[in-house]
Amino acid sequence: MPAKGKYFFNENDDCRISDPLYEKYRYTSQQHPLLLLLLFIAIIFWTTLIIIFFVTDEAHYHLAFIIAVCAALVIFAVMYLLLCIESLFRRWLTLFGVMIWICFLIIGYVSLFEKENDYQLWEQVPFFLFIIFTVYTMLPFGMRGAVIISVLSALSHIIVLSIMVSMTSQENKESILFQLLANAVIFLCGNLMGAFHKRQMQVASWDLYRYTLKCIQVRMKLKIEKRQQENLLLSILPAHISMEMKLAIIERLKETNDNRQMHDNNFHSLYVKRHQNVSILYADIVGFTRLASDCSPKELVVMLNELFGKFDQIAKENECMRIKILGDCYYCVSGLPVSLPVHARNCVKMGLDMCEAIKQVREATGVDINMRVGIHSGNVLCGVIGLRKWQYDVWSHDVSLANRMESAGVPGRVHITEATLNHLGKAYEVEEGNGHLRDPYLESMNIKTYLVVDPRSKQCVSNNHLPKTRVNDGLKMRASVRMTRYLESWGAARPFAHLNHRESVSSDSSSSQGRRRKEIPLCSTGHQRTSDRNSSQKGRIEEDIYDEMMSTIEGLSSTNPWCGKSDDFCGFSLIFAEPGLEKEYRTIPILKLKSYFACASFVFLCIFLIQMFIMPKTAKLGISFGIVAVIIVLILFVCFAEKCMKCCSEQRPFLHHLCAISEKVETMPLLRLPLAVIAIGALLIIAIFNLTTEKNKPANFTGSNDLCATTYPFGNTTQSCVEETYYAYCCILGFIACSVFLQMSFELKVLLLSIAVTVYLIIFNTLQHKNLSFYGNSTRLFTKEPRIMTNLYLVLFYITLVLLAKQIDYYCRLDCLWKNKFKKEHEQFETMENVNRLLLENVLPAHVAAYFIGEKRNEDWYHQSYDCVCVMFASVPDFKVFYTECDVNKEGLECLRLLNEIIADFDELLLKPKFSGVEKIKTIGSTYMAAAGLSVTPGQENNQG
């Protein structure tokens, strides 16, 4: 499997056409189906030949040809079956192509040399033209290989037949020369049109591949950014609250986009719900304020992150939801958002684990800190209030009581109420808490409290794991340094370090839970964790892009334009199921349209040269070609008028109008379709026109008319026969001219080709010269007879070009479909990104959120020191007195609605330009906190106030 990293490229990077992933994409999208299509056509064609042999009872005369055809049929049938097992035989694709080409050549030469002394220069020209054209369009060769093989095919036919005819035929040198020149023009036209077709398909395939790869890259980047934003949001708000807010914002955006009248509401939206039977835990680090006064800003941030990161791990283990951090105060709830019968046990277990963690810190560092925990069980109102800087919070009298339990607690112990004890049952032993002696509120409310006995405290620790010398070395450091070094050894996750991860908790964090080191490390391990995380992150992104591209390629191989089973297309016609997409596809610009008309002009030139070499030089011939030449030149002038204007110094008004029309040729269907019909129709008509006008003309042989002054064994002159044969070749070139209009409407090409082949077959089978008898010699191989050969090859090219046009139409529709899907996906991702960003802007300051998300995402701790700031606290007086819980106010919900309106009014004030320098920090209960001077640009904080 190729390296995945090479497919994650930037806008300025350029991947190579030889990339293995592109090779697989090209094989799946073009080479495999086209090769199967060619094998199918060849099998049907040669099966038809064998049937005709046996029907005409001529099989015993042509055993060599039948054996060659049957051998080729067996080889092609085996190839067809092997190619269906594409995973095993994809590497043999070039070998298969070479074998198919060799089989074609062998059959072509067997039919030429089946009878000695019976060679004509016009024989098997369309078959070799078929080989040349299919080498470019359907066989799995590169451009260089296709050119070499096609040129060899053409030269072999010209050289071999010229030698054999010059040795056996009595024709004059001029006749041989003109026929050889006509054959060379036919092969040249086939080579150039095939090369043009191959080049256009290669460019289209490469462009679609790069577009698909870039879209997948953008999609993956958008997914990553969206996941970062969602994880950042979920790190602050619970999923059920953030989802409710998202739906409300999306609905509001829809109403705005649809110009619908928004619902009148006297109140702002309130995202608060009531939950019963939960336990609330408040925890405070005793002695931390004194320790923090000796810390630098970075040390303080690191210390708090490691402590609270550890507490978050403990909360997750015990099914508790962290609500908020207030300084060194940590509080959480068990039983949210889904009710848990063991919520009290969860909170008590968490409180004991927190006390044990702080105890280990104290023993390892010698720093005098402790943990005080208070727990109460009851009911809460939880959610967010205000319009900006949302923070998930809980409100109720039971929450206030839990806060009181913490402040009235004992350091190192878990302090619980009787309500919590009733939910515990006999899970833990308790002691009298005597909280009423330490808090007058508990005494006034007659709250009975208890202290939980930690089962681990009964285990006697006989020895100290910290070496004596190590303790002495550690005590030489400042207390804050000792704390920082020790806490970093816990390996707690950094803030939002999981934003790019597929899991919400990194493996580093989970693996570090079992490590409880009792010694102070001398160096930090945080930088090593960050570098390891960053190095593995890019690999995962590149792997996702590679897997997504492989999934797209596999999805491409599972669809088939011939089966008609697809959710995106309707039946065999491949019309899009979505009407709007079908209209978009019909009107899509064709950027290479002008080159199509240039190719058609070259085909016209080739037809003209062929008929000048072979046909009698009559006035009708010159007039007819002159008229068509004028039409072709006018069409070319319309297409290339803009470029012609650059060469003309004189500017005239009508030229400006012509240039305006020229610019719209590629983009306006009502203009390009008539021009294409006129150009293709003119070529298809001129290819056969002069045959119909000379059907009653006697054969005269003067000048170049001596070209075919040879006789068949049955004794009739062959001038009219040769003319008719080369008219058929001109008709086939007209078919090819129609096929080079690659991105034109498939229905239009089928209609033109169907009308043309019908008319051609009627003309060639009704305009029979009375003096010709094609079956005079029963031993003659029927594919040497020009009339039967004409019918066979006209039908062969018609079927081949129609099927090829169908496959190309499928590519073009697939290109349009993928681009439309990627566009819709991009719009959906942008919508969700805007919603997430809007939510984030209402949670974190924009510059802080940008610090943790995006391509330059930083996994370091965010901290910033400001020299001059102003902090404001605004409280709603006596809100605690106003707040009551009863049936009238829905257990306090309506009281919070009023608080929500007050906070929302404060938030709306900050939206005014004069308060642009003021940043809301948070709400704490009924207290509003804001600050001025927290500017992103250093030095501007002195200008804020």
Say if residues 401 and 376 touch (Cβ distance below 8 Å): yes
Per DSSP (E only), the strands in 720-878 are 870-875
Say if residues 588 and 669 touch (Cβ distance below 8 Å): no
Paired strand residues for 415: 374, 451
Output the six-digit token pair for 128.
Answer: 């070799």
CA-nearest of 139, 164, 163 to 149 is: 139
Which pLDDT belongs to residue 571? 62
Separation CA 792–CA 765 (nearest Å) = 12
How many CB atoms are located within 10 Å of the residue 133 CB?
Answer: 25
Say if residues 508 and 529 touch (Cβ distance below 8 Å): yes
Which pLDDT belongs to residue 787? 76
Task: Please list, in sequence order, all residues whose beta carbon lies within 8 angstroms of the beta carbon of residue 374, skipping any fewer than 6 positions away.
Answer: 281, 282, 283, 402, 403, 404, 405, 406, 407, 408, 409, 414, 415, 416
Which pLDDT belongs to residue 695? 52
Q: Cα–Cα–Cα angle for 269, 271, 272, nearest 5°? A: 130
Separation CA 107–CA 113 (nearest Å) = 10
Q: What is the pLDDT of residues 772-798, one digit of tens each?
A: 444 344 445 555 566 778 888 999 999
Q: What 3-state class would DSSP assign to 282?
A: strand
Separation CA 351–CA 376 (nearest Å) = 12
**What distances in angstroms separate CA 276 from CA 279, 282, 333, one per listed residue?**
9, 18, 12
Predicted TM-score (pTM) above 0.75? no
Q: How confident is the model at residue 507 (pLDDT cuts 50, 70, 90)?
A: very low
Which pLDDT belongs to residue 134? 93
Q: How confident is the model at residue 910 (pLDDT cuts 50, 70, 90)?
A: confident
> Which burial class, exposed, middle or buried, applies to 382 when counting CB atoms under 10 A from its CB (0-12, 13-18, 19+)?
buried
Say if residues 371 and 354 touch (Cβ distance below 8 Å): yes
Q: How confident is the model at residue 823 (pLDDT cuts 50, 70, 90)?
A: confident
Taking 90 as the threshold, does the pLDDT of residue 155 lie above it?
yes
**Greater model confidence, 551 or 896:** 896
State the chain's mean pLDDT as an integer: 77
Which pLDDT belongs to residue 418? 93
Query: Cα-flanking dihedrals φ and ψ of residue 711, to 5°?
Result: -120, 145
Half-sphere exposure of 245 (CA within 13 A, CB side): 30
Say if residues 161 and 112 touch (Cβ distance below 8 Å): yes
Output the six-digit token pair for 439.
Answer: 């808090």
How many CB atoms are located within 10 Å of the residue 773 CB?
Answer: 13
Taking 70 as the threshold, does the pLDDT of residue 248 lie above it?
yes
Mean pLDDT of 911-929: 86
Choice among 118, 312, 328, 809 that is catalytic: 328
Separation CA 306–CA 797 (nearest Å) = 76
Output the six-digit token pair for 758.
Answer: 């019908």
CA trace torsion 728, 732, 737, 743 (10° rounding): 150
Choice among 284, 353, 439, 544 that is catalytic: 284
Which pLDDT belongs to residue 9? 39
Which pLDDT belongs to residue 700? 41
> Which burial class, exposed, middle or buried, applies to 696 when counting CB atoms under 10 A from its CB (0-12, 13-18, 19+)?
exposed
Mean pLDDT of 397-402: 92
Choice among 41, 249, 285, 607 that is catalytic: 285
CA-nearest of 120, 29, 64, 8 to 711 is: 120
- Among this protein's residues, is 328 annotated catalytic? yes
The sign of the dihedral angle between the CA atoms of 292, 293, 297, 298 is: negative
The sign of the dihedral angle between the CA atoms of 933, 495, 390, 845 is: positive
Separation CA 824–CA 25 (nearest Å) = 23
> Which burial class, exposed, middle or buried, applies to 1 when counting CB atoms under 10 A from its CB (0-12, 13-18, 19+)?
exposed
CA-nearest of 810, 795, 662 to 742 is: 810
Q: What is the pLDDT of residues 635-650, one digit of tens each?
A: 988 888 776 665 554 5
**What distances in angstroms separate CA 115 from CA 63, 398, 680, 716, one per listed residue?**
11, 108, 39, 19
**What distances in angstroms separate CA 810 from CA 128, 392, 581, 740, one per listed residue?**
28, 53, 14, 16
Taking 80 as the threshold, does the pLDDT of residue 686 lie above it?
yes
Separation CA 209–CA 226 (nearest Å) = 25
Separation CA 614–CA 689 (nearest Å) = 15
Query: Cα-flanking dihedrals φ and ψ of residue 449, to 5°?
Result: -125, 165
CA-nearest of 100, 512, 527 to 314 is: 512
Give the distance, in angstroms, between the CA of residue 165 and the centroid of all CA atoms in the same chain.
59
Give the distance, in angstroms, between the CA of residue 421 and the centroid of all CA atoms in the same chain.
56
Q: What 3-state class would DSSP assign to 922?
A: strand
Ranking 109-118, 126-135, 234-243, 857-866 by mean pLDDT, the lowest is 857-866
